[in-house]
Amino acid sequence: MASTSCSLLRLQPGSTGSIHRIEGMNPILRRRLADLGVSEGVMIRLKGKGPFLGPITLECNGQLFAIRRKEASMIEVNVS
């Protein structure tokens, strides 16, 4: 089965994808995410979406964290 690429924001809660690209993000925030293990090639799971366009909760390498939807839209994932 071929994998498709989409924004992390388009995943449904519980879905997993491999990070393909991170572009346009503030370098400081990108560094903080890298410290949590978020980088190209890593598997990431969308755990939930906050109500009223709130933050999204992610799991990566056993770490749970939340980011704004604006930043989530800058992370492109491959979903198989």
Note the pLDDT tens digit of each residue in 6-50: 999 999 999 999 999 999 999 999 999 999 899 999 999 999 999
Q: What is the domain-level CATH number for residue 48? A: 2.30.30.90
Q: Which residues span the domain enclosing 68? A: 4-79
Task: Please state the pTM of the whole predicted model.
Answer: 0.87
Number of domains in the chain: 1
Residue 71 has a pLDDT of 94
Q: Could you tell me which of 12, 29, 14, 39 has the C-alpha nearest to residue 71?
A: 29
Residue 2 has a pLDDT of 62
What tokens were used for 54?
Answer: 């709130």
Question: At 47, which helix (H) or strand (E)?
Answer: strand 43-49
Residue 1 has a pLDDT of 54
